[in-house]
Structure 1
Amino acid sequence: MAPDQPPVSAPPQTKYLTTYDLKERDWTVTMIAELLPQHDASRAAYIRLPGNAPVKLYLRARVEEAEGSDEFLIGQERATKAKARRGSAARTAQHEALLKKCVQAFRPPYTWPERWCQRSDWQLS
């Protein structure tokens, strides 16, 4: 940046935060339901697909007030502990179970002709 240019300022803060914004600020779905049970406003989603629910909006001041409460800190601590419990060991066990299930269920689509299976010179000694 050139010395004669003013520093670039951050984008202006909006009045509302979406559920996505809350999750970016380390909120969980449970914390949102407990601490902010009712949303303050809603708007249509930017991508309009059949079945898309409206976007829930929460007042920034209300969110910041909830973030300063003890309940929020307790919820964050619970979420951190739960995330640690679900760590890589759990994912590894799930992957192993899924792999075992897939291997056991695998049946090759091709079957060898029976006459080929009966040839003694192809059998392992």
Structure 2
Amino acid sequence: MRALPSGLSYLCLHLFALCYYAQVTNQSPPNFTQHVSEQSKLTDRVSRRLIRIYQLYSRTSGKHVQVLPNKKINAMAEDGDVHAKLVVETDTFGSRVRIKGAETGFYICMNKRGKLIGK
């Protein structure tokens, strides 16, 4: 068997790499919104919901996160404040976490601008 000349083998190698790159880059990017929507519709019979009450501490302000009755969220509560008690609900399998104020019952959500609000 005769070996290919080095120039021809170099060209074949580049052609192979170009074809491989074209196959890899033709994939469409994943639709994250669709994935989240589909996953939120699924129910997992194995998961258990864990519900705990916490106070979330903010290093920036040196205080605790609170959910106020006017649906505002801030990190200005003192330790033990009634509005600083947060109910954290998690599923043992999956990535669902829900945080709401124990006193107000409002969940911590994010608006379109990325600001935290209570709903």
Q: Same fold (TM over 0.5)?
A: no
Identify which of structures 1 and 2 has the higher relative contact order when contacts are C-alpha pairs closer than 8 Å and 6+ apart.
1
Flag the structure with higher helix content.
Answer: 1
Q: TM-score, normalised by structure 1?
A: 0.22
Point out the structure with max Rg over C-alpha.
1
Q: TM-score, normalised by structure 2?
A: 0.23
